[in-house]
Structure 1
Amino acid sequence: MLIHRLIVRKTKPEIEIIRDISFNHKGLSLIVDNTSDSAKDSGNNVGKTTVVKIIDLCLGAKSVRSLYFDVDTKSENHEIREFLMEHKVEAELILVDPNKKKKSSIVRQLFNRGKRIIDSIEFTQEEFWGKLKLLLFDLDEHNPTLRQLIPKFVRVDNITSENMIKYLGNTTSNDTYDSIYLFLFRIIKNDLLSKKDTLSANLKEVETKIRLLQHDENISSLDILEQRKQLIDSDLVELSTKRKNLDYMETYKEELKNKRNIINSINEVEAEMQMLQFEIKQITVNIEKLENEKSNINHSQISYIYNEAKAYIGTVNKTFEDLLLFHNKMIQNRIDFVKDQLTIKEKRYTELEYGRDTLLEQNKNLTIDLLDEGLLEELNSINQKIEALVLEKGAINQTIKILTSAETLKDNLTNDIKQISQQMDSNNINDIIGKFNVYFSDYCEKLYGEKYLFVYNSKWKEQNKFPVSLDLFKGNVGTGMKKGIIVAFDLAYIKFAEEMSIVSPRFVIHDKLENTHINQLRTIFELSRDINGQYIVPILRERVDKIESALIEECKVLELSKDEKFFKV
């Protein structure tokens, strides 16, 4: 896919085109900041980077806030924010497939909660990503994701602009990077790649779970748990033997049973007595409240109600005094009922109290009390120790089960990943990467006079290394060369993808090339003419003023300045 046009327009109060940019389908497309040499002028706010950010938003970037928020200064351009919201500004990115001669329209509304539309169909964010991934990469598997792939082609922030191979930053796992490069170079089939990525994610979760378990001071490792379990089993055998040697158990079995039953009965009776005490107390309080209601009746309030009723009805058969008598009678009826309940519960409490005293006497007279108290204490101590050990053993068994299950799952996942990895032919990998290195090393030599090699390490996991690396024939990579090496890598990939008929974006967008030496800039512009794709660059005019003006004018697709900012505000 190539970028054909970018149209940015207001939709409120009426449709009005702000920018309509047509990109060169082959070679270099420059977005030039023509800020003057005046010290008062600055190219930082005219909007050259805004073009790249809008394209990135149309290709699935999440937040439109990047258009008006400066990460470095932590400041927000309220004028731009209000402009986008007030006029409901939207961007339309038109892509073209040069092989199929087919165009696709991607619309992204540039305000909070704006819509995402592809070919007139609105999508949720997840659906939008899925549709774009299919459109740009012909990939309908879950992994790698769209936003893991696009930053390789649209390098808009510091991380993506300054890192050739770790372009998502160091927080992204090595497994994810492995999946990305296996996909980009089509080293294994997409379905196997997605399965491998899913298995790797599951393996990482299991390994994290095992580490967390082993960091628990009560768990340690399977070996320690097994040893602790053996020690507990030995203690249980010893304690069980001691308990069997206490031979009075059978002799006093019936007495022990009776004593246990009586104690249980005493506990039940006392529990019911406690509840009755609470209920008796509550009933007594209610009786006092009702008596108080009868003696402190609000005559004026009842009189008011009586007179109001009389005013509405007319003739009332009952006098006010009759009403007072009725009211007091109703309260007295409630008092009498509650007192009856009180009598019943007090009677029941007396019965329970008598029953409890009887049980206490029975308990006192049981012959079990004649047992040797020392033996009883020993028996009780042994039983408590056995119970504690059984509980500890149960916890250890459960932990062993969890750890064993996790270790088994880890082994299974590792084997599944290994089986997929074994399907990758080392010779085939070297052939594929070798084809890429033909272009990559050539571009590096033209830029810096040194040849670099991109290498995939199929045994990176066993060696605990990063999946891919940059090797040199000679010399080292200095910080000043990073930008040029990244350009060489991305342009070489376009050439490689074309040769291998790989479906992927045929465009590369690089921001922040200002620090690149003019000699390398000139070479980069020349290299971009060699690719059958697009190299899109926003740049200050003063950085290219030593390059042939005819080339700049030929490649320029948009020119901005202090007086001609991107949004024209």
Structure 2
Amino acid sequence: MYIKSLRIRNTKSNEIVREVFFHLGANFVVDTESSERHNKVGKTTFLKLIDVLMGANNKKLVYTDRETNSETPALRDFIINHRIAAEMTIVQRLEAPYGETHELKVDLFPHGSYFIDDQRVNAKSYRKRLNEIFFGIENDIPTFRNLIHSFIRVSVGGDDNSFLRNLPHASNAVYRGVYNFLFDVSNPELDNQLSKLNTKLKQAQESLRQYKRVNGVEDSEQQRQILVALESELSRVKRQADDIFDSEVYKANRDAIVSARARYAELADRLSEIRYRIERNESTLGGAYEEKKRQVDLDISRRFFDEVCSMIPGVNKTFEEMVDFNSKIVDNKIAYFKSINADLQSEYFALEEERRKLLDDSSQYLSLVTQDRIDEYERLSAELMRIQQDIGKRKEIVGTLERYDRDLAIMRDEIQDYSTGGDKRSAESNDYLSMMTSFNGYFGQLASAINSENPILTYSPDTEKFPVSITEISGTSTGTRKSLIAAFDLAYQQFAIENQIKTPRFIVHDVIENIEGDDLRAIIDSANVIEAQYIVAILKEKLDSSNISEREQSSLRILELSSDDKLFEGKSDSSQGENRQG
């Protein structure tokens, strides 16, 4: 399909603000202003209109400067107040009879509509229908916007110098689907399935990475080795525990063992307490006996007693009575502690008897207690339980990692089947080598004619890599890059025509003032012998400096803009366009 004409319409008055006609070969959108004043008259905006009519998302950027991201208020208000729409007529042939013909219309004002052949559609349906019209794709795989970027080198949101990577935030799988379609390497359905498989694989790989991070593991082999070490440790600890007590006996009689141990410990604590009390009591009793045996100096005591009595009149007790009273107190203390001691001894013997009987009756359970090894046994039992739990966890991790490995292996096998050269491709895919050879025949010839370079486009069947690349390019200047883009796009048009690939028969390029005069001359000559449209925004002074004659400029010019005749100020350019129409 070709572009026959583009119109800017005031839908309020139904008047055409400007109409531009296109022709085969080079189509110039010319800025006639001098260098210091260019980029202000609307030539880039005109190319943006083509992109908007090709389904670009952000219509607002028609009146937004892509470098400063600032709006042009006057143009914005003009579009909104007059409810401006862009219209385009596309045709199968540029000469009558035009064959398949379609009318496209996009309202540029906020919340405006999309139309195809006077039928209002939503934005998604609009792009899907364009995919059918321009590429013959009914299932929208690849999407229209992903494909059209290779024909319109004017991104409404900005330009990308890496012209092979012309999609924002796209994966290698998406690019592979695009280039496989453009070069007829494979069935787009297979590419779509391949893209889904690659997405699924990446999601699984990320899930595995997160699982490893959360569980602090590296790989299944590491975990298997840890598992072997844990099982060895389990055997060692179990042997230590079995040397102390038969674990089966312990488990079967655990309640009896616990009960006997508790009573044994209780008796031991009570006996220890009574033993302490007996020792204290006997110490006190010994003190009382010592007090009774002690020889007291009665002369000193008598003189002390007499001295006190002289100081305290009215004392009615004799010295002998005081001595007798103290003697009775000591006797009473001895009698009391002897009684207490007898009771404690009796209780101690009773508890000793109970403990002996407990040992006799529960000897099979209390052997560990009497040897003081029950704590060690329980420590080993707890260690066994901890190791068993760790082994269970490690086995679960190993199992999960092995499932991940199996699933990832299956996905990789499926990806291989859907990749170039895989089983799924064998019956439906063209040989990418022959397609690259066909394209490079045109590409090398054009590049050589334009700037004496000899680039080669190569295709990688490795689905992990970007699908295409260019090698053997001399020079790295911007001019060389711009001329290379022109050579690539023009070569693709020749390739698509030869191989009967249904694609747009037009190329839209933004400013190319960095291309040198001879290179520009060669690009224009090449574009004029190809059955396609090369639509480019360019400065008048660049055409003059490249020795493009006024007659040829007039013949190739479809739109001329200046500060006195800006894009939206209105002027029909039909006379210039009709020069090249049949």
| TM-score of the alignment, normalized to the shorter chain, above 0.5 | yes
Question: For residue 471 of structure 1, what is the amino acid of its counterpart?
Answer: T
Residue 54 (structure 1) shift: 1.5
Query: Which residue in the other structure is 2:449 paired with?
Result: 446
Residue 500 (structure 1) shift: 0.7
Q: 1:397 to 1:481 in 2, by over 3 A?
A: same
Question: For residue 515 of structure 1, what is the amino acid of its counterpart?
Answer: N
**CA contact 1:34–1:540 (8 Å) conserved in 2:** yes
Question: For residue 125 of structure 1, what is the amino acid of its counterpart?
Answer: A
Q: 1:215 to 1:45 in 2, by over 3 A?
A: farther
Residue 136 (structure 1) shift: 1.3
Residue 191 (structure 1) shift: 2.5
Give distance in 2, aligned partners of 1:431 and 1:109: 44
Query: Which residue in the other structure is 1:558 paired with?
Result: 559
Residue 35 (structure 1) shift: 1.7
Q: Deviations over 1:325-359 (max 9, x none)?
A: xxxxxxxxxxxxxxxxxxxxxxxxxxxxxxxxxxx
Q: 1:249 to 1:113 in 2, by over 3 A?
A: same
Alignment of 1:88-237 (within 5 A): 88-98=83-93, 101-157=99-155, 162-168=161-167, 171-214=169-212, 218-237=216-235
Give distance in 2, aligned partners of 1:384 and 1:106: 79
Q: Percent identity of the aligned residues?
A: 28
Gaps of 5+ in 2: 262-360, 571-582
Query: Which residue in the other structure is 2:536 paired with?
Result: 537
1:408 paired to 2:406? yes
**CA contact 1:32–1:558 (8 Å) conserved in 2:** yes
Give distance in 1, aligned partners of 2:569 and 2:391: 75
Q: Deviations over 1:454-490 (max 9, x none)?
A: 22233x45xx754322233x84554431111110110
Q: Deviations over 1:67-97 (max 9, x none)?
A: 1222322322233233323333222222212
Give distance in 1, aligned partners of 2:258 and 2:98: 93
Give distance in 2, aligned partners of 1:216 and 1:563: 67
Give distance in 1, aligned partners of 2:229 and 2:64: 64
Give distance in 2, aligned partners of 1:375 and 1:120: 96
Alignment of 1:415-430 (within 5 A): 415-420=413-418, 421-423=420-422, 428-430=431-433
Give distance in 2, aligned partners of 1:65 and 1:391: 63
Give distance in 1, aligned partners of 2:567 and 2:494: 32
Question: For residue 444 of structure 1, what is the amino acid of its counterpart?
Answer: A
Query: Which residue in the other structure is 1:266 paired with?
Result: none
Report how many residues are paired. Answer: 453
**Greater radius of gyration (CA):** 2
**CA contact 1:159–1:168 (8 Å) conserved in 2:** no
Gaps of 5+ in 1: 260-366
Moved more, 238-247 or 137-146: 238-247
Q: 1:89 to 1:235 in 2, by over 3 A?
A: farther
Query: Which residue in the other structure is 1:63 paired with?
Result: 58
Q: 1:162 to 1:494 in 2, by over 3 A?
A: same
Q: Deviations over 1:359-413 (max 9, x none)?
A: xxxxxxxx99999597675566556545554554454444434433333232222
Give distance in 1, aligned partners of 2:229 and 2:124: 55
Q: 1:482 to 1:251 in 2, by over 3 A?
A: closer
**CA contact 1:32–1:541 (8 Å) conserved in 2:** yes
- Compute the TM-score of the two structures, normalised by the length of structure 2: 0.69
1:469 paired to 2:469? yes
Q: 1:547 to 1:411 in 2, by over 3 A?
A: same
Give distance in 2, aligned partners of 1:476 and 1:208: 40
Give distance in 2, aligned partners of 1:450 and 1:403: 52
**CA contact 1:164–1:489 (8 Å) conserved in 2:** no
**CA contact 2:26–2:524 (8 Å) conserved in 1:** yes
Give distance in 1, aligned partners of 2:127 and 2:404: 34
Q: 1:235 to 1:528 in 2, by over 3 A?
A: same
Q: Deviations over 1:203-228 (max 9, x none)?
A: 23333333444455702111112222
- Compute the TM-score of the two structures, normalised by the length of structure 1: 0.71
Give distance in 1, aligned partners of 2:183 and 2:538: 30
Q: 1:499 to 1:249 in 2, by over 3 A?
A: closer
1:73 paired to 2:68? yes
Q: Deviations over 1:105-127 (max 9, x none)?
A: 22222233332332333333333
SS in 2 for 1:537: strand
Structural RMSD (CA): 3.4
Q: 1:252 to 1:102 in 2, by over 3 A?
A: closer
Q: 1:465 to 1:249 in 2, by over 3 A?
A: closer
Q: 1:406 to 1:115 in 2, by over 3 A?
A: farther
Question: For residue 218 of structure 2, what is the amino acid of its counterpart?
Answer: S
Alignment of 1:21-40 (within 5 A): 21-24=20-23, 26-36=24-34, 39=36
Query: Which residue in the other structure is 1:11 paired with?
Result: 11
Q: 1:504 to 1:401 in 2, by over 3 A?
A: farther
Give distance in 1, aligned partners of 2:417 and 2:410: 11
**CA contact 2:79–2:109 (8 Å) conserved in 1:** yes
**CA contact 2:177–2:188 (8 Å) conserved in 1:** no
Query: Which residue in the other structure is 1:251 paired with?
Result: 253
Q: 1:378 to 1:95 in 2, by over 3 A?
A: farther
SS in 2 for 1:126: helix
Q: Deviations over 1:173-203 (max 9, x none)?
A: 3333332222111012232232223223322
